[in-house]
Amino acid sequence: MSPAGSSRFAGSFASSLAGLLPFAALLLIPAATANPYVIFVITAALFYSMVALGLNVIVGLSGIWQLAQAAFLAVGGYTAGFLAKEYGISLWIGIPAGAVVAALLSILLALPTLRLRDEYLMIATLNFGIIAQILMTNLDQFTGGTAGMSAIPPITIPWWSNDAGLTLTGAVRPDQQYYVVLIGFVVTWLIVKRLQASPMGRALRAMRDDEIVAQTMGQNTLRLRLIAFAIGCGLAGLAGGIFVARFQSISPAAAGLNNSVLYLAMVIVGGSGNLLGVIVGASILSTLPELLRDLEKYRLLVYGGILVATMVFRPQGLFPERMRSYVGGRAIPAARQGER
């Protein structure tokens, strides 16, 4: 059997970059509309998509139930904010540093707990999130307490504009916020996409579907769980840094359990394991409150309704994970119908 019709291109790094082309249209959005509200809504959708894509590595790809994603996001945000405020370190360095700190912290959490299974591990992450939020509230000297950090020096895109993308009051302009979030989204998307298409991604899916068999196929699943958890939490930290760059502030509320649950809902509603689905899920659940402004009071009710409806009518999500039709850079030769 020859790898018929194969192209070395498919599945390669270059093809992941090519997959970004549709997103290129996103570059033009601020030019297409002057309405800051529209830009705000799209920025929020992109931001939540980035968060959900990172969580998808843990939940969708690896089957680990994670209820502390918001806490790791906040860790990244506080790290970037702290470095910028106390040491004047640029957010361009602070944001990756926040991602690294979140990843390292996740490894510390994972080492004693990743041997736990399913719901027990979920309880462990739940507790970690609560403890993290309490620490952020009470370590005033580092975090600014309940009020959090504000007036964090803004991120500047040097070649972008003379006023460094700030409004007269010193806030980050909507279009600049948008581009910062877009950068974070693209980086996250590339990492998640590459991981999913790699041999390690295959091993993760195998582990998720049947851990014992994955082990008898030579996979050290404890190591795999650790890596997936660290990558997912690192991406949460990255998103936290982007959050800080966007709002110049962060507070313990960002680490809240309600946020972790919201991120989880985005992954599940969209279709855990399917990147496009995850983006759609995040966009829907982040835009919905804007569309339902009048129903503000019932927001949580609507969320709950959507989640329940998803679990009942489409448990695999709006866009279920699809089987990979190419591997190792080649298309899988499809069965010839006549020979069946």
Partner 1 sequence: MPLLAVNDLTRRFGGVLALNGAEMRIDEGEIVSLIGPNGSGKTTFFNCLTGIYRPDRGNAFWGPGNRDLAGLPPYAITRLGIARTFQNIRLFGRMSALENVMLGGQAGDRLGVWQNLLTLPRAEAGEAARYERACGLLELVGLAQRAADAAGALPYGLQRRLEIARAMATLPKLLLLDEPCAGLNPQEIDALMALVREIRARGVTVLLIEHSMQIVMQVSDRIVVFDAGAKIAEGSPEAVQRDPHVLAAYLGVPENA
In the complex, which residues of this chain contact partner 1 (CB under 8 A)?
Answer: 1, 3, 12-13, 191, 194-195, 197-203, 205-206, 209-210, 212-221, 227, 231, 321, 323-325, 327-330, 332-336, 339-340
Query: Among residues 145 and 329, whose Cβ is nearest to partner 1?
Result: 329
**3-class DSSP state for residue 327?**
strand
Report the distance separating Cα 52 and Cα 80, nearest Å. Answer: 20
Question: Measured from the CB of residue 247, what is the shortest distance to partner 1 in angstroms?
Answer: 29
Report the distance separating Cα 182 and Cα 311, nearest Å. Answer: 31
Question: Measured from the CB of residue 202, what is the shortest distance to partner 1 in angstroms?
Answer: 6
Burial 252-271 (b: 16+ CB within 10 A, else e): bebbbeebbbbbbbbbbbbb
Burial 1-35 (b: 16+ CB within 10 A, else e): eeeeebeeebbeeebbeeeeeeeeebeebbeeeee
Query: Among residues 21 and 212, whose Cβ is nearest to partner 1?
Result: 212
Q: How many helices (H) and strands (E) does the chain have?
A: 15, 2
Question: Measured from the CB of residue 54, what is the shortest distance to partner 1 in angstroms?
Answer: 14
Question: Measured from the CB of residue 57, what is the shortest distance to partner 1 in angstroms?
Answer: 11
The residues pairing with 331 across neighbouring beta strands, listed in sequence order, are 326
Query: Among residues 12 and 249, whose Cβ is nearest to partner 1?
Result: 12
Token couple for 286: 């982040």
Q: Are 154 and 96 in contact (CB under 8 A)?
A: no
Question: Measured from the CB of residue 55, what is the shortest distance to partner 1 in angstroms?
Answer: 18
Question: Measured from the CB of residue 309, what is the shortest distance to partner 1 in angstroms?
Answer: 24
Residue 47: Cβ-neighbour burial (10 angstroms; 0-12, 13-18, 19+) = buried
Query: Among residues 137 and 219, whose Cβ is nearest to partner 1?
Result: 219
Report the distance separating Cα 285 and Cα 299, nearest Å. Answer: 10
